[in-house]
Structure 1
Amino acid sequence: MSMKDRIEAVEARIAAACARAGRDRGEVEVIAVTKYVSLETTGEAIREGLRHLGENRWQDAAPKLQTYGEAAEWHFIGHLQTNKVKDVIGKFRYIHSLDRLSLAKELEKKAGQLGLTVPCFIQVNVSGEESKYGLAPDKLLEFAGELRAFEHLRIVGLMTMAPYEAEPEATRPVFRGLRELRDRLNREGVLGYEAPHLSMGMSNDFEVAIEEGATWVRLGSSLVGRE
């Protein structure tokens, strides 16, 4: 299957999931996860109209940003080490993995030096899996409250990773849990502003995530393939 064919197939599945949930298709954005594909395939993705690209590691992303930096909006979706903030700041439009105060402080420091405001998602480990990064759900409100003092960070929503399940329906409680946390965060006014977005859903389970309110889905193999 060509990339164009994969994009069309994914688009049809997104539209169907939105219809089932009574949502407008325009509410869902797609991040093409290019971490497992080559520089050449990344370029093909851009030529096929994919404008939001996601990378997990600075080392892998660097040559792609050097070649295609202005042609896409880049999302850092992996665990971000504090000592790598200096590399990614100003190059990635969004950070999807803000999960600790030390990282927030470093992002704030570097963003302030550059005169930037960085849109961030707070990563929450809704499933509780030890292998996954993210805040425990019961720590979210306290952490978000601490972020009010950071002038150069803008929390735009929450992010989570569901466990891989053979039956995607089994991931529904995780996605529903993140939506409920987002709604509580906004209802209680913890940040002092609305954080509308939910970054959740990958190739195996994105339709369920959309049905539960995802506004950003992160798609790799189903969209750009794997090399």
Structure 2
Amino acid sequence: MSSMEEALNGVKGNIAWAVTSSGRRSQDVELIAVTKTLPVETINEAVGLGMRHFGENKVQEIREKYERVSTPVSWHMIGHLQSNKVKYIIDKVCLIHSLDRMSLAKELEKRAAAQKLCISVLIQVNVAQEESKHGMAVEEVLPFIRRVQKFKQIHVRGLMTMAPHNDDAEAARPIFRRLSELKEEISQLELAGVDMDILSMGMSNDYMVAIEEGATMVRVGSAIFGSRTDT
């Protein structure tokens, strides 16, 4: 058994434990393997181990890797997305996790319309109000969604957040709980064209807590692939 397979099995086991402890089903949580800075050979190894969902932080990496992965996979744009780079990935990603401003929404709408696509997005929320992170404040989310729901090519599927890094995963629990509460608040409004079926939160250091608080997608990199010098 390779080190990657062993690590991946460990992550899956942790996910199964967290899902069970929170009274949910294993199919309720999707594991997104974060592959930023990793070579295609490593991604292909992960594909061989059954992984099909991969997250990238940079447009350039998606473009470079898209055609070189051995099996068709689902790509997720999980990093900050510049409006002038939307055109390069609009037809390559299954979900954009980081919609956080109207200028980006307008560009997504324009580019998706040009290619007759409907693009699925998550609203990035900076629950902790960290200056170093992108995303909108909790109180800005609903007014923003009400504006975006008028766009014909954009399908809002839920919310995303990143908790402040902390060696104690429990420190992230209030952040994840607040996002989960916000998701439920918006769900109850039953806004036309808006679904709140995805909650993307939790990374290598806190994904189990995120699952316990309702995450439906966790973005895990180093716990599968090992530490990287840029993370």
TM-score range, shorter chain: over 0.9
Identical-pair percentage:
48
Pairing 1:208-219 to 2, within 5 Å after superposition: 208-219=209-220
Counterpart for residue 165 of structure 1: 166
Structure number with the bigger relative contact order (C-alpha 8 A, sep ≥ 6) is 1
CA contact (8 A) 2:156 2:193 kept: no
Q: 1:136 to 1:12 in 2, by over 3 A?
A: same
Deviation at 1:192, TM superposition (A): 4.8
Q: Which residue of 2 aligns with 1:122?
A: 123
Q: How far does the alpha carbon of each residue in 1:177-220 deviate from its partner, in whole angstroms, 9 at most, with x for none?
A: 10011111111234554321100000000000000000000000
Query: 1:17 and 1:43 mapped to 2: Cα distance?
Result: 28
Higher helix proportion = 1
CA distance in 2, matches of 1:191, 1:81: 27
1:220 aligns with 221
1:55 to 2:46 alignment: no
- 1:37 is matched with which residue? 38
Using the alignment, how far apart are the partners of 1:78 and 1:4 within structure 2? 26
TM-score by length of 2: 0.95
Greater mean deviation of Cα atoms: 48-57 or 185-194: 185-194
1:140-197 per-residue CA deviation (whole Å, 9 max, x = no partner) reads 0100000111111111110000000110001000000100111111112345543211
Give 2:108's aligned amino acid: L
Gap runs ≥5 in structure 1? none
Q: Which amino acid aligns with 2:123?
A: I
Match of 1:91 in 2: 92
Instruction: State the distance in 2 between where 1:193 and 1:120 align.
Output: 10
Give distance in 1, aligned partners of 2:172 and 2:144. 25
Q: Quote the Cα distance in structure 1 between the aligned partners of 2:117 and 2:195.
A: 20
**1:10 aligned partner, one-letter code:** V
Partner secondary structure for residue 218 of structure 1: strand
Q: Aligned residue for 1:146?
A: 147
> Residue 68 of structure 1: CA displacement?
1.7
Asked if the contact 1:160–1:200 (Cα under 8 Å) also holds between the matched residues in 2, the reply is: yes
1:69 & 1:115 partners in 2: Cα distance?
27
CA 1:36–1:191: 2 relative to 1, 3 Å: farther
Following superposition, which runs of at least 4 residues in structure 1 exceed 4 angstroms of deviation? none
* Aligned residue in 2 for 1:132: 133
**CA-CA distance at 1:69 after TM superposition:** 7.8
What is the alpha-carbon distance in structure 1 between the residues aligned to residue 43 and residue 227 of structure 2?
A: 11
Q: Secondary structure at the match of 1:194?
A: strand
Name whichever of 62-71 and 150-159 sits farther off: 62-71
Q: CA deviation at 1:37?
A: 1.4
Q: Distance in 1 between matches of 2:64 and 2:227?
A: 18
2:149–2:155 Cα contact (<8 Å) kept: no
Aligned residues: 227
Q: Give, in whole Å, the separation in 2 of the partners of 1:203 and 1:46.
A: 19
Provide the secondary structure at the position in 1 that maps to 2:67: helix
Q: Which amino acid aligns with 1:108?
A: E
1:169 match: secondary structure: helix
- In the TM superposition, residue 135 of structure 1 has moved relative to its aligned partner by 0.8
